[in-house]
Amino acid sequence: MRLIFVRHGCTSENDNKIIMGHKGGSLNALGKKQALNVALFLREEKIDVADVSVSNRTKETAEIILGFHPQTKVVYTKELIDRGYGKYEMKPVSELRKAAEESRVRFDNFDFNGGETYSQMSKRVVEYFNQIIKKNNNKTILFVTHSDPIVTILFKLLKRKKEGDFSERLKLLPKNGFISIFENGKCILLNHDKHLK
C-alpha cells in the first residue's frame, strides 16, 4: 500500500495569516503554481483513489493534480476538513492566539467558541483514515488535505508518542504543497518540498 499526503496550495488567507478552518480559501497564483508542481512531481504515480477535503483550496489542488490521473476515483469528504475554529475563522491568527491565551485553556483544548478541540479533530481524521486503509488494501491512495489532519496521520504512521505536544507537532507541520509518501508502512518522503523550488 502506498499513501501520498499533500497539503493544499497557498491561498491569500495563508499569505495574510488569516485562519480559515472550515471556511474560505481559494488558491492564489502561487497556490496554483504549487499545485501544478505537485502534479508534475506525482504524474508518474499510479493513483487508485484520491480522498480530498471538501474545502475549496483542497478541491482546487486535487483537480490540478488529478488532471494527470483522469481514471482515479475521487472521494470528497468532510472528515478530512481542517480543524474548526468557530467564530475565529477568517480572522487573524494573532486574534485567535490571544483568545486562547485569555481563556487560560491549553490551545489544544480550546474549542474557539463553536469550533473543535485538537483531540476532536484528531479523532475524526484518524477514524476516517483507518476506514480508508481497510477499504483500499494494496492500493495507492492520495490524500489532499490540511496541515493539522496531515500531522495527525503522520504521528500515527511514524509511531510518535507526543501528538499532544504542540511543539512536537510544529516540527512535522507541512507547508503549502509539501508531499509525504509512505509505502507498506515505511516513510519514503517526509514533507518533501524540492518540487516547489
- 74 in a domain, yes or no? yes
- 37 in a domain, yes or no? yes
pLDDT digits (tens, 9 = 90+) for 87-134: 999 999 999 888 878 888 777 788 888 899 988 999 999 999 999 999
Domain containing 145 equals 2-84+117-196
Cα–Cα distance for residue pair 166/22, rounded to 1 Å: 21
Residue count (the chain)? 197
- 148 in a domain, yes or no? yes
- 190 in a domain, yes or no? yes
| Domain CATH number, residue 166 | 3.40.50.1240
Helices and strands in the chain, H and E counts: 7, 6
pLDDT average, residue stretch 127-142:
96
Q: What is the pTM of this model?
A: 0.94
- 102 in a domain, yes or no? no
Q: Which of 12-21, 39-48, 91-100, 138-147 has the lowest mean pLDDT?
A: 91-100
- 96 in a domain, yes or no? no
Domains of the chain: total: 1
pLDDT digits (tens, 9 = 90+) for 30-45: 999 999 999 999 999 9
- 112 in a domain, yes or no? no
- 174 in a domain, yes or no? yes
